[in-house]
Amino acid sequence: MLPSIAIAKAVAYADSIALMAAGITLIYMCTRTFNFAHASFVTWGLYVVYAMTMLQGGSPYYYLPLAFLFVGVLGVAVYMLVIGPLMRRGASPTTLMMTTLGVDLVLLSTIQMFADFLTRTYRLYARRVVLEVYDFNTLGIPGITYVSLIIVVVLIAAIHWFMVKTKFGTAMRATIENPDLSSVLGINPNVVYIASWFIGGGLAGLGGGIASLAISGDPTIGSRIIVSMFASSIVGGLYSVYGSVLGGLLIGLTEYLGIMLLSTQLGGWILTYRPVIPLIAMAITLLIYPRGLAGINWGKALLRIKSLGGRTWK
Amino acid sequence: MLLEVRNLISGYGKLKVLFNVNLDVEEKEITVVVGPNGAGKTTLLNSIMGIATIYDGAVYYNGSKISGMPTHKISRLGIAYLPQMGNVFTELTVNENLRLASYLLDKAEVKDRMDEVLSLFPVLDKFINRKAGTLSGGERRMLAIAMALMRRPKIILLDEITTDLAPIIAKKVLNQIIDLRDKLGLTILIVEQLAKIALELGDQAYLLVSGTMRYSGKALELLRHPDFSELYLGIKKI
C-alpha cells in the first residue's frame, strides 16, 4: 500500500499537469500550434513563485496569480513576435511546432541565466528549487493538495463560464471552428489568438507554480515533464480543454503512483523510466482511439457496458 | 457606384485565378456573376473580402480603396458575405450564431435586430436553442442570411446560395432575397452556377469564364443571347 502522503502529492502533481495540458490544448485549438515552449513556460512559472517567495517572503501561494500573469504575458510575446508573423505568412502546423522548439531553447537559456543571477546576486541555491517547507499542513496532508484541487475546479468552471456565457468566449469558440467566417462577421481573429496564448501561457505558469510546491524543481523541469503534458493533452482529446484536464489528472496520477508502486516491487532503478508511463498512454490512445477521452460518446459507451452486464454467458 | 473592382489579378499563394477583372455594383441593384465551375467566382468574392491574395488591381467601396485591408475591417464597413461552404458555426446554437453576427453591437440593439430578423425568418425561432449543425441545408442557408442581416449591411455578397438545395427550396431562397432587396433596400452581389435562375432575378450580369470577364451588361440580355450556352462554356467570345 502507498502512504497517504504519496497519494496527496500525486493529486497535487496531477492537478498541475492538468492545468499545463489545458494550456497546450487551448493554444493548439486556436492557433494549430503544438507548443513545445510550454516546457519553459512551466519552468518560468515555477521560478516566479520561487524567486518571489525567497526575495519578498510570505507564502508561495501569494505568488501563484503573478506566475499566471507573468507567463501569460510571456505567451502573448511569443505569439506576437514569432508565431503570429509566421501564421500570417501561411506557415504550416509542422513549421509552427518546430519553431516553438527553437523558442523553448531560447527561453530555457533565459531561465538558466535567471537561476545563475539568483545564485550570484542573492546567494540562493536556485538550481534546486524546493518550496515544500513553505507549505501548510492539514490533517497530515500538504496544503497544495487541497489548494491545487480547488484551483483546478474553480478555473475549469471559470473557463466554461467564459467560453459559454460571454460574448468574447463565444467569439473564441467560433474562431476555433471557422476563423474565416469569424473575420467575415467582423471579429478580429488575431485578438482571439492573443487571448488564447495569454490564457494558455497563464495556465502553464500556474501549473508550474503549483508544481513548485509538489515536486522539487530545476531549470530543466519543464523539459522533463513536457512528455506528460503532451500525453495528457492527447489522451484527453486535442480538441477539448475539459478532456485535457481529465487526461492530465489521469496521466499525473498514473505516472506518479505507478512509478512508486513499480519501484517498491522492482527496485529504485525503474524510477529513471518514469516518462515511459505517459509515453505508453499516449501511444495507446493514438493507436486505439486518437480522438481521446473527449471524443468518446459516453452515453453510447455506458449503454454498451450495461448491455454487456445484462448478457448471460453460456 | 457602391462597389468597384478594377483590373483585378488575384488568387491564392502563387496560383493566379483572376486576370484583369472589372466589376461595378450599383446601389440597391442585384448584380449577378455567372460562370461554369472553376471560373473564379468564389475567388472574386474572396478578393473583395480580403481573403484571397491580390497581386494587382484594386477594390473600391463607396469610393474608398478596401483592397489590402484585413477581412474583419472590410466587414465592419457594412459588407456582409455568405460563403458557399461553412457559412454558419455548426457547433454553436442558432441563438449564438445570430448574437455573434452582431458582435460589435450593444445588448439593446442586438435584441431589436434579433426580433427584426426572426420576423423575416420565423422558422429560425423554433430552433433558436438548437445547434446549427443539426439544421437542414435550407434552414442553414436561412440562418446564414439572417446572420448577414443582423448587422444591417449595405451590401450582401452571396456565393452560390442555392448549392445543394432542392430546386423548390432554391427558388424560395432566391425569392426571399428579392424580397429583402425590396423591403430593406439592400444591394446584392450574387455569384451563381445556376445561371438561368440567377439571371432571371438579376439587374446587371457578368459572365466569368476561366478567370476573365466575358460579358457585362443587362442580366436578361445575357440570358436571351443566342449564343449563351457557348459563351457560358467558354467556346465562343463576344
Domain range list for chain B? 1-78+154-238, 88-152
3-state secondary structure B41-96: HHHHHHHHCCCCEEEEEEEEECCEECCCCCHHHHHHCCEEEECCCCCCCCCCEHHH
Q: Which three cell numbers stand for residue B136?
A: 437542414
Q: B83 in contact with A at a CB cutoff of 8 Å?
A: yes
Summarize pLDDT for A279-313 with one digit per residue, the tens: 999 899 889 888 888 888 877 877 877 777 665 54
CA of A287 vs chain B CAs: smallest distance (Å): 27
Chain B nearest CA to A171, separation (Å): 7
pTM above 0.90, yes or no: no
Q: Is the pLDDT of residue A11 over 50?
A: yes
* Percentage of residues of chain A with pLDDT beyond 70: 98
Q: Cβ B96–A180 below 8 Å, yes or no?
A: no
Average pLDDT for residues A78-107, to the nearest whole number?
95
The pair phi, psi for residue B62, each rounded to 5°, is 55, 35
Exposure of A13 in the CB half-sphere (CA atoms within 13 A): 22
Q: Which residue intervals of B121-166 are DSSP H helices?
A: 122-126, 137-149
Distance, CA of B217 to CA of B198 (rounded, Å): 14
pLDDT at B228 over 80: no
The per-residue pLDDT for range B82-130, each reduced to its tens digit, is 998 889 999 999 999 999 998 888 888 888 889 888 988 888 999 999 9
Q: Name which of A165, A185, A192, A240 to mutate to probe chain B: the one with the most chain B Cβ atoms within 10 A of its Cβ.
A: A185
According to the model, what pLDDT value does residue B164 have?
73
Arithmetic mean of pLDDT, B1-10: 94
| The predicted structure's pLDDT at residue B183 | 82
Q: Give the number of beta-carbon pairs within 8 Å between A and B.
A: 63
**Residue B106 contacts A, CB cutoff 8 Å:** no
Spatial distance between the Cα atoms of A121 and A114, rounded to a whole number of angstroms: 10
The residue that leads in pLDDT, B216 or A295, is B216
Q: Cβ A183–B70 below 8 Å, yes or no?
A: yes
**Secondary structure (3-state) at B190:** strand
CATH number of B1-78+154-238: 3.40.50.300
Closest CA to A62 of A72, A52, A70, A54: A52
pLDDT at B236: 64
